Amino acid sequence: MPGFELFGDLERKEVNDVLDNGVLMRYGFDGMRNGHWKAKELEGELSKTFNTNHVQLVSSGTAAVSVALASAGVGAGDEVIMPTFTFVASFEAIMMLGAIPVLVDIDDTLTLNPKAVEAAITPKTKAVMVVQMCGSMGDLDALQTICNSNNLLLVEDACQAIGGTYNGKPLGSIGDLGCFSFDFVKTITCGEGGAVITNNNDYYVNADHYSDHGHDHIGNDRGAETHPFLGYNFRISELHAAVGLAQVKRLPEFIAIQKKHYLILREALEVIPEVTFRRVPKGGEESYAFLNFFLPNIEIARKVIEAFKANGVDVCWNYFDNNWHYVRKWNHLKDKKSLFPLSAEIEQGLENIKNTTYDQSDHFIGRNISCLIKMSWTEDEVKTRASKMVSSINSALL
């Protein structure tokens, strides 16, 4: 991770196909295309990759979450339970629909704590969104049981976890709807792009229409298509889809490289008694896009980060002090800094977030260090990095 590290001839070929026929829009202009439909081809490849019936490409991972929720009828006044550790896009995508984000604690999987989810359910709850952060997953069986018992949607935000599996099923394909991001720093990149996947035909049809201004996509005359309901523009372009089409064909190659580098680093750190690793639920296999481990306390974690920087160990973070991925510094959300008026229900929901403490999340995020796994490293570079990480951690523990 990320896929742009290994751009090559296949990506160039797919992009040049689009430039040669001149059609950058994914819909219409049938006569000009010379048979090139990159978005449709990518949807087909993703359907095989995720072993799912339906795939709808969209413009970003954020768009994927909004489109997924909208396709299942989530909207104004509905509550969507989500974790305290994620990217800000998660609550943005919920609020875009007029729905209310309800933040709850994570556990040692770095994703939703099922007990915290159960405690947060109210009559307004419509969906539970598990965010498979840093390449791994939550306790999906437990979360699915909670959702089934309470007639709630289970939405998987697998934007950072393409290639991971749970009980043999690809992450994203387990809940009612799955969401992916193909932005510039993801394992599979389109530059910008995303996807909604589902086995529910009604949700798919809704997503297909909603993401293109409500077009029903029936027939060969775009101007004659009808609009069964309101929609918006979340379309991906053919240029972006072309890059993703080349990249998804290389996913097994990418995952194998990530796993090799991950295991070298993990095996080096396992000899340090004070280092423990995030829990991967039984039956799960992460995508190996990140190595996540815990230290005894936040003070040591901060010392390790500084030691990493001093020793040239890059792309490692302690998210406790991060502005974008952890609730602690989402002041623009807590203080309701919006360019336009928010509904009274959202205002109240954000006030609840501002007045809530997340001690369990602090406990895990404060002690966690997350390290990106690059695919462009050589094996010697990974081993040198492992040695520097071990010495940095040991020096911080003294």
Question: Residue 280: what pLDDT?
Answer: 98
Distances (CA, A) of 272 to 294, 299, 392: 11, 17, 11
Distances (CA, A) of 131 to 104, 246, 374: 12, 26, 22
Cβ neighbours, 10 Å, residue 290: 24
* Residue 240 near residue 41 (C-beta atoms within 8 A): no
Question: 193, 187, 133, 189: which is closest to 163 by C-alpha?
Answer: 187
Structure tokens at 226: 């009808």
pLDDT one-digit tens code per residue, 125-174: 999 999 999 999 999 999 999 999 999 999 999 999 999 999 999 999 99
* Residue 278 near residue 294 (C-beta atoms within 8 A): yes
Distances (CA, A) of 5 to 2, 38, 180, 253, 262: 6, 22, 19, 13, 17
* Residue 221 near residue 88 (C-beta atoms within 8 A): no
pLDDT one-digit tens code per residue, 87-99: 999 999 999 999 9
pLDDT one-digit tens code per residue, 184-199: 999 999 999 999 999 9
Q: What is the DSSP letter of 369?
A: E
Sequential DSSP letters for 289-348: SEEEEE-SSHHHHHHHHHHHHHTT--SEE-GGG-SSSBGGG-HHHHTT--SSPPPHHHHH
Q: What is the mean pLDDT of residues 246-263?
A: 98
Q: In what order do the strands lie in the sheet with 169-170?
A: 169-170, 165-166, 284-285
Q: What is the mean pLDDT of residues 211-235?
A: 97
Band of residue 380 on the pLDDT scale cut at 50, 70, 90: very high
- Domains of the chain, CATH where assigned: 3-250 (3.40.640.10), 252-397 (3.90.1150.10)
Residue in the block written with tokens 């795939």: 55
Cα separation, 362 vs 111, in Å, equals 13
pLDDT one-digit tens code per residue, 23-74: 999 999 999 999 999 999 999 999 999 999 999 999 999 999 999 999 999 9
Q: Could you tell me which residues come within 8 angstroms of residue 395 by beta carbon, excluding any fewer than 6 positions away?
A: 307
Band of residue 297 on the pLDDT scale cut at 50, 70, 90: very high
* Residue 373 near residue 286 (C-beta atoms within 8 A): no
Question: Residue 191: what pLDDT?
Answer: 97
* Residue 1 near residue 289 (C-beta atoms within 8 A): yes
| Average pLDDT for the chain | 98
Cα separation, 17 vs 35, in Å, equals 10
Band of residue 293 on the pLDDT scale cut at 50, 70, 90: very high
Instruction: Report if pTM > 0.85.
Output: yes
